[in-house]
Amino acid sequence: MIPISKIYGYCRISTSKQSIERQKRNIKQAYPDAIIVSEEYTGTTTDRPEWNKLYKRLRDGDTIVFDSVSRMSRNATEGFTAYEELYNRGISLVFLKEPHINTDTFKKALSDADLKRTGTTVDYILEGVSKYLMSLAKEQIKIAFAQSEKEICDLHRRTSEGIETARLHGKQIGQRKGAKLTTKKSIAAKEIIKKYNKSFCGMLSNEDTWKLAGISKMSFYKYQKELLAELAEGESK
């Protein structure tokens, strides 16, 4: 018995201030029969349990629909790697806001690039053209992921700058549920986290960040959570 192909709609938000309903609505409007898979996490970890479950149960012929490429991955390198892996497994990927990188479009580009050989020396030229067209199609996908990553980083940077400006003008940022203990060490550690940690578009993992900052694992997650809360509040204004 041939298994029936399924259509999944993957939705993701990274802060409690965001709403996932818009993504669900957009996907359902385009694909009414889509099975919605929601991922709501705070951003204090890169783990995505629902995505991991979906990734394992996908079968050849299935489709995943995303509202935008940024919902698939916030990291360009990991995003393209997952795209290529899923494509090779026979999974169709649909990006409502970036249809030019849908796997069907990619497949057509590769098909067009597979030029018929002539059995003459011209085939060397045709092979070179084919490789060029394939590389061009892949580059378009990489650019889309990179642009998405840049937009997220720019948003975080603008939000951080806005928070700092508000602080300089004496505005209280965040809720006061009892005064937070602020020390020179905590201030220095937070600056390192904002600059180097992957949650804030840096290059270091969580472990590498707390080692660089010279703080404990517990302190790191506490500071990271506070910084992400400030970003979320700034983005919601």
Q: Which comes out higher in pLDDT, residue 118 or 143?
A: 143
Three-state SS annotation for 178-216:
CCCCCCHHHHHHHHHHHHHEHHHCCCECHHHHHHHHCCC
pLDDT at 136: 66
Domain 7-143, CATH number (from 3.10.129.10, 3.40.50.620, 3.40.50.1390, 3.40.50.2300): 3.40.50.1390
Residue 4 CB neighbour total at 10 angstroms? 8
Nearest to 232 by CA among 147, 162, 131: 162
β-partners of residue 64 are 8, 93
β-partners of residue 8 are 35, 64
Q: How far is Cα 24 from Cα 11, in angstroms, rounded to an integer? A: 7
| Residue 151 pLDDT class (50, 70, 90 cuts) | low
Q: What is the pTM of this model?
A: 0.57
Give, rounded to a whole angstrom, the gap between the first and last alpha carbons of the chain.
53
* pLDDT tens track for 40-86: 764 445 578 899 999 999 999 999 999 988 788 767 777 888 888 89
pLDDT at 179: 45
Does pLDDT of 35 surpass 80? yes
User: For the chain, which residues make up each domain, given as ranges?
Assistant: 7-143, 172-236
